Structure 1
Amino acid sequence: MATHTLETAERPSVEELEDLAFELRTKLLHLCGTYEGAVHIGGDLSAADIFTALYHYGLRVDPDDIANPARDRFVLSKGHAAVCMYIAMAMRGFFSYDGIVETYGQLDSAYGMHPCKVQLPGVECSTGSLGHGLPLAVGMALSARHRREDHRVVCLLGDGETGEGSVWEAAMAARSNELGNLVAFIDRNRQLMTSFAEERVVFEPYPDKWRAFGWNVVEVDGHDMGALVAAIDALPATDSDRPTVVIAETVKGKGVDFMEHNLAWHAGSLGAADLERALAALESTRNKESV
């Protein structure tokens, strides 16, 4: 396969990544406290550790050379978590966090509620219609194979959207085409917009479904940064013949006690008092987990 030069910075330690994930959650809450509309804060918080592990450790990307052909491609299938992706990208150096806060959700803003590749350079795919991200990622991975390029295509899905038939058609196509350069991360927070997952759609035995479609399956605690790093380090070579799915068990609203497992916080906004309460809860959670 053809290779390209892409300089990679020294990767941070697990402890440094944990600090970055805390910073990401803090910035998420601040944005939620300043934006007048609703932010999909529950699913943003559940995916924050995954975004941190990918953008600061796993993805081979260069914010100063966003079109480098050697770059890994990232597809956010759960497009409603766009603001978490924006902040992770800002922390990685793609653009400024202040710019997100100042314009998020406004008409013609580059930072919409769902990501748009036309509006925001560095975004590989416009997404938001659930169930579409993995099919797009399959096409990108297949194109890379035909071009004999060795980058990865990484797709982040919510578990709820894997109730869509398009996801399983894409899963079957990925294995049929032996796309070992494709990796799917599942934010398995077990909640939908208005219900808990198993109440509406029976997903279990969830890992076995992916195995039945011929995928390499990795199961991790999606809030254990060490486990996420280990899963990334153990990914098969891009010229292998099986796609990989990393099923990350997460908690919707992770880090803020009154949001965790709470259906009301699929999306919402924070007033000044709620923001102060949320930040205090986040700090408390961090202190407990560091003991």
Structure 2
Amino acid sequence: MTDRSNTLATIRDNALWMRRRAFSMVHAAQLGHPGGDFSATDIVATLFFGVLRYDPARPEKADRDRFVMSKGHATGVLYTALCRAGYYSEDWLETYMQPGSKLNGHPNRQYVPGVEANTGPLGHGLPIATGIAIAGQIDGSDHRTFVLTGDGEIQEGSNWEAAMTAGHRKLGNLTVIVDRNRLQQGQGTEETSSLDPLPQKWTAFGWEVIEVDGHDHAQLLEVLGAEPGDRPRAVIANTVKGKGVSFMENQASWHHGVPSDEQFAQAMEELV
């Protein structure tokens, strides 16, 4: 088996584990955002197990790549990835959303190793990541900065201020991935505030734009692992909210839905 095949197998195995473990956490806590967790799982798994440079024993290592989870409500996928990557033991996941837990509803870098920025109020992650990328550019560092946003989140104006800045400064060390599942809390993005034509918007701000299947690990690995260019890169990842569980897929209600015992059992049967 080639190194690439081994990497893809590792990504696939971790993505499955992350979906199953995250849904178990949401079921136990009866809190969470599993629909958005599942649309983003393949993206996050590809980053952590095929692309990012990091050392869980030294979370603040200067030359690490940075990952900012801007859609901060998707903690199920983030916490399981960090756990699987070795930042903390699986015992931590048992405390998800419990009183006093470090793993609360939005990530906090003061408590959770591997978290680069406190996120949750939407529209803040890309501006923070842009600042990190500017610092790297000034320092002459070769670290890269990746930020994952929700598509509904792109309706926040602060994203476009950051996009304009990043394009102007030609931040080739910055990649934004848009989790384009076309659903946000309550209804579709296009019914709320239309984003299309989304690729052309990023292009107009001076970004290189690539569209991918956000559940195809091979496509994601090729695009996210590509060498930086001379412009910031926007990866529009077309995804399915609730991916992997039949009754959750493309259902806005699963933005923050929680499963009954029967639904949990069905999901575990399907996630194989």
Identity %: 44
Counterpart in the other structure of 1:20: 14
Is residue 35–residue 243 contact of structure 2 (8 Å, CA) maintained in 1?
yes
Superposed displacement of residue 63, structure 1? 0.7
Is 1:61 aligned to residue 50 of structure 2? no
Is residue 154–residue 185 contact of structure 1 (8 Å, CA) maintained in 2?
yes
Task: Tell me which amino acid in the other structure corresponds to 2:268.
Answer: L
The one of 106, 109, 112 equivalent to 2:98 is 106
Counterpart in the other structure of 2:246: 257
- Once the two structures are superposed, residues 199-256 of structure 1 have per-residue CA deviations (whole angstroms, 9 ceiling, x without a partner) of 11111111111111110111100000111011123242xxx43100111000000000
Counterpart in the other structure of 2:204: 212
Gaps of 5+ in 2: none
Is 1:94 aligned to residue 87 of structure 2? yes
Is residue 129–residue 146 contact of structure 2 (8 Å, CA) maintained in 1?
yes
Alignment of 1:73-88 (within 5 A): 73-88=66-81
- Once the two structures are superposed, residues 33-78 of structure 1 have per-residue CA deviations (whole angstroms, 9 ceiling, x without a partner) of 211x321000000000011001111111111121111101111100
Superposed displacement of residue 268, structure 1? 2.2
Counterpart in the other structure of 2:258: 269
Could you tell me how far apart the structure 1 residues matched to 2:179 and 2:89 are? 26
TM-score of the superposed pair, with normalisation by structure 1: 0.89
Gaps of 5+ in 1: 1-9, 284-291
Superposed displacement of residue 28, structure 1? 1.4
Could you tell me how far apart the structure 2 residues matched to 1:146 and 1:230 are? 27
Could you tell me how far apart the structure 2 residues matched to 1:160 and 1:62 are? 32
Counterpart in the other structure of 2:26: 32
Task: Tell me which amino acid in the other structure corresponds to 1:243.
Answer: P
Task: Tell me which amino acid in the other structure corresponds to 1:274.
Answer: Q
Is 1:153 aligned to residue 145 of structure 2? yes
- Once the two structures are superposed, residues 90-144 of structure 1 have per-residue CA deviations (whole angstroms, 9 ceiling, x without a partner) of 111111222112x211233211110001111221101111001000011111111
Task: Tell me which amino acid in the other structure corresponds to 2:252.
Answer: L
Counterpart in the other structure of 1:3: none
Superposed displacement of residue 23, structure 1? 1.2
Is residue 157–residue 184 contact of structure 1 (8 Å, CA) maintained in 2?
yes
Runs of 4+ in 1 over 6 A off after TM superposition: none
Is residue 31–residue 97 contact of structure 2 (8 Å, CA) maintained in 1?
no
**Matched residue count:** 269
Counterpart in the other structure of 1:4: none
Superposed displacement of residue 175, structure 1? 0.9
Task: Tell me which amino acid in the other structure corresponds to 2:271.
Answer: L
Task: Tell me which amino acid in the other structure corresponds to 1:62.
Answer: D
Could you tell me how far apart the structure 2 residues matched to 1:235 and 1:26 are? 32
Counterpart in the other structure of 1:226: 218
Is residue 235–residue 244 contact of structure 1 (8 Å, CA) maintained in 2?
no
Could you tell me how far apart the structure 1 residues matched to 2:149 and 2:194 are? 17
Counterpart in the other structure of 1:51: 44
Is residue 80–residue 113 contact of structure 1 (8 Å, CA) maintained in 2?
yes
Counterpart in the other structure of 1:7: none
- Once the two structures are superposed, residues 129-161 of structure 1 have per-residue CA deviations (whole angstroms, 9 ceiling, x without a partner) of 100100001111111111221101110000101
Is residue 109–residue 119 contact of structure 1 (8 Å, CA) maintained in 2?
no
Counterpart in the other structure of 1:137: 129
Counterpart in the other structure of 1:246: 235
Is residue 83–residue 111 contact of structure 1 (8 Å, CA) maintained in 2?
no
Counterpart in the other structure of 1:194: 186
* Secondary structure, counterpart of 2:74 in structure 1: helix
Counterpart in the other structure of 1:170: 162
Q: Please report the RMSD computed on the Cα atoms of aligned residues, expressed in angstroms.
A: 1.4
Could you tell me how far apart the structure 1 residues matched to 2:114 and 2:23 are? 24
* Secondary structure, counterpart of 1:135 in structure 2: helix
